[in-house]
Amino acid sequence: MLFCRLADGDEEAFRQLFHYYNKLLQPFVIKLTHSPLAAEEVLQEVFLKIWAHRRRLARVDNPKAYIIRIVSNESMDYLHAQAKHERLAKEMLHTQIGEAPSPEQSFFHRETEQRLQQAIEQLPNSCRQIYRMSREQYKRIPEIASELNLSHSTVKNQLVKALKTLRLHLGNILPSLIAFFILQR
């Protein structure tokens, strides 16, 4: 019934579905991702997909299984992306430890850092401020919330938004980063 209402674009049905399943699935996603922040990001992506593809929901026979499948897929996608980033970071670290960086590596590092800074500057003001407080000043969510007089969930949502935007922006250069380091071997 709720899925049928949602398929018709009923926003209240979506809110009900979100609040019910978000609480139910959060421990599961935290267990998979080992991170409450990652779990929030995964679940936001899940519910964005559900809303974007809501017209298909009227044909779903088992709503709970459908949502769990989306959550599992999104969690795995997140973990694969994290593994890819970790492999790249390790590769960069191994390249830098044993020897002085080549001029190409130095250039590529500067270029990547410059693109990251450009992406940060393109974030909305509040999102950028929260990101910088978290990543550059090493402040925790409660500290940021207190300092900016915002709720914890607002700070978390803005931080998730910033990280997702930056990941997408840098994801565009990730294939060339990987190719660069493979060619260096």
The pTM is what?
Answer: 0.51
Q: What is the rounded (10 degree) CA torsion for 9, 26, 76, 32?
A: -170
The domain of 25 spans 2-78
Q: Residues 74, 106: one domain? A: no
Structure tokens at 106: 């130095």
Q: Is residue 111 part of a domain?
A: yes
Which CATH number goes with the domain that contains 29?
1.10.1740
Q: Is residue 86 part of a domain?
A: no
What tens digit of pLDDT does each residue of 151-175 get? 988 888 888 888 888 777 776 655 5
Q: Is residue 60 part of a domain?
A: yes
Q: Is residue 32 part of a domain?
A: yes
Q: Is residue 124 part of a domain?
A: yes
Give the confidence band of 185 by pLDDT, cuts at 50, 70, 90: very low
Beta strands in the chain (DSSP E): none
Q: Residues 17, 67: one domain? A: yes
Q: Is residue 85 part of a domain?
A: no
Q: Residues 136, 73: one domain? A: no
What tens digit of pLDDT does each residue of 87-145 get? 766 666 665 555 666 676 677 677 777 878 888 898 899 999 998 888 888 888 888 99
Domain count, the chain: 2
Q: Which of 78, 110, 140 is the last residue of a domain?
A: 78
Q: Is residue 94 part of a domain?
A: no
Amino acid at residue number 96: Q
Which CATH number goes with the domain that contains 112?
1.10.10.10
Give which of 163, 159, 160 is closest to 171, Cα–Cα: 163
Question: CA–CA separation, 43 vs 120, rounded Å?
Answer: 23
Q: Residues 57, 105: one domain? A: no
Q: Is residue 84 part of a domain?
A: no
